Amino acid sequence: MSLYVFRRVGATLPTLCWVLVLVFFGMRILPGDPAIAMLGSQAGEEALHRFREAHGLNQPLWVQFWLYFRGALNLDLGVSYETQRPVGALIFEFLPYTLDLAIFSVFLALVIGIPLGVMMAAKRDSVWDLLGGITALGGISIPSFCLSVILILVFSTWLGLFPTMGEIDMGSPLSRLYHAVLPSCAVGFVQAAPIMRVTRAAMLDVMNEPYVQAARAKGLPDWRVTFHHALRNALIPAVTVAITGMTVALGGIVVVEIIFNRPGLGKLLLGGVENRDFQMIQGTILVYSVMVVLINLALDLLYVFIDPRVTYGREDA
Per residue in 139-163, pLDDT tens?
A: 888 888 888 889 888 888 888 888 7
Domain boundaries of the chain, sorted by first residue: 2-73, 93-309
Amino acid of residue 293: V
pTM of the model: 0.75
DSSP 163: -
Burial of 73 (0-12, 13-18, 19+ CB in 10 A): exposed
Encode pLDDT of 45-90 as tens digits. 788 888 788 777 788 888 888 888 888 888 788 888 778 888 888 8
DSSP class per residue in 80-145: -TTT-SBHHHHHHHHHHHHHHHHHHHHHHHHHHHHHHHHHHHHTTTSHHHHHHHHHHHHHHHS-HH
**Biggest CA-to-CA distance, the chain:** 86
Q: Confidence class of residue 267 from pLDDT cuts 50, 70 and 90?
A: confident
Q: How far apart are CA 100 and CA 70, in angstroms?
A: 30
Cα 42 from chain centroid?
A: 40
Give the best-scoring range by mean pLDDT among 143-152, 217-226, 269-278.
143-152
Encode pLDDT of 172-215 as tens digits. 778 888 888 888 888 888 888 888 888 888 888 777 777 777 77
- Would you put residue 313 in left (φ > 0), alpha (ψ -120 to 50) or beta? left
Q: How far apart are CA 34 and CA 40, in angstroms?
A: 10
pLDDT at 223: 67
CATH numeric code, 93-309: 1.10.3720.10
Q: How far apart are CA 269 and CA 253, in angstroms?
A: 12
Q: Confidence class of residue 138 from pLDDT cuts 50, 70 and 90?
A: confident
Encode pLDDT of 300-311 as tens digits. 666 666 555 555
Bridge partners of residue 79, in order along the sequence: 86
